[in-house]
Amino acid sequence: MNAHPTATRHALAALLSACLFWTSAASAGSARDASSLAGTWTLVAADVQHPDGSRASDYGASPKGLLLIDRQGHYSLQIFKAERPAFHAADKAKGTPDEYKAAVMGSSTHYGTLAIEPDHDVLVFHIEGASFPNWEGQEQRRQYELKDGVLRYRVAARPNGDVPLSVWRRID
């Protein structure tokens, strides 16, 4: 016996609504691909979690940063410690060893392409260029969470066990 056409349409509409609800709920905390992160992001926090579980600022009290992602997954990321001292000489080539150290340790920049593994909530940075040359050509994977226009991720642990934590807010 065949079901009434109206009942069938209602049943299909209810099933479709349930599927759409489940899909949107499942992806609420993660992006599906890099294009969903496209835009301009400003740094909210650049912290570090120590092996003992304590947390501290990694780039000073008021770090500055910008993350740009285009729809094709190209990105550019910059983080700066606000308290970096200016060089005494007006010429970057005439800095002191301490000035060079503060400039390098007070910044982290890199660019390349970004991919997302949504089933694992992982961002994959394919680094083409970086202020730390050892990262160039690397793939770095970072656990992330995206919620209410805020992107949070954990960088792989450093050799001393510290885990950098970055928080970005979408501004466009």
Residues 62 and 4 in one domain: no
Residues 77 and 20 in one domain: no
* pTM for this model (two decimals): 0.80
What is the C-alpha to C-alpha distance for residues 162 and 59, in angstroms, rounded to an integer?
13
115-144 tens-digit pLDDT: 999 999 999 999 999 999 999 999 999 999
Q: Please tell me the total count of domains within the chain.
A: 2
Alpha carbon dihedral 22, 25, 31, 37, in 10-degree steps, equals: 120
- Domain containing 4 equals 1-28
Residues 67 and 93 in one domain: yes
Residues 53 and 8 in one domain: no
Residues 52 and 133 in one domain: yes
Residues 53 and 100 in one domain: yes
Q: What is the pLDDT of residue 106?
A: 97
| CATH label of the domain that carries residue 117 | 2.40.128.280
Q: What is the pLDDT of residue 31?
A: 74
SS3 call for 97: helix
Residues 9 and 58 in one domain: no
Residues 7 and 64 in one domain: no
Residues 36 and 21 in one domain: no
Q: Is the pLDDT of residue 56 over 70?
A: yes
Residues 165 and 87 in one domain: yes
Q: Which of 157, 166, 153, 169 is nearest to 42 (CA)?
A: 169
**What mean pLDDT is predicted for residues 53-79?**
97
Q: What is the pLDDT of residue 24?
A: 36
Residues 6 and 68 in one domain: no
Residues 45 and 122 in one domain: yes
- Categorize the per-residue pLDDT at 32 as very low, low, confident or very high, splitting at 50, 70 and 90: confident
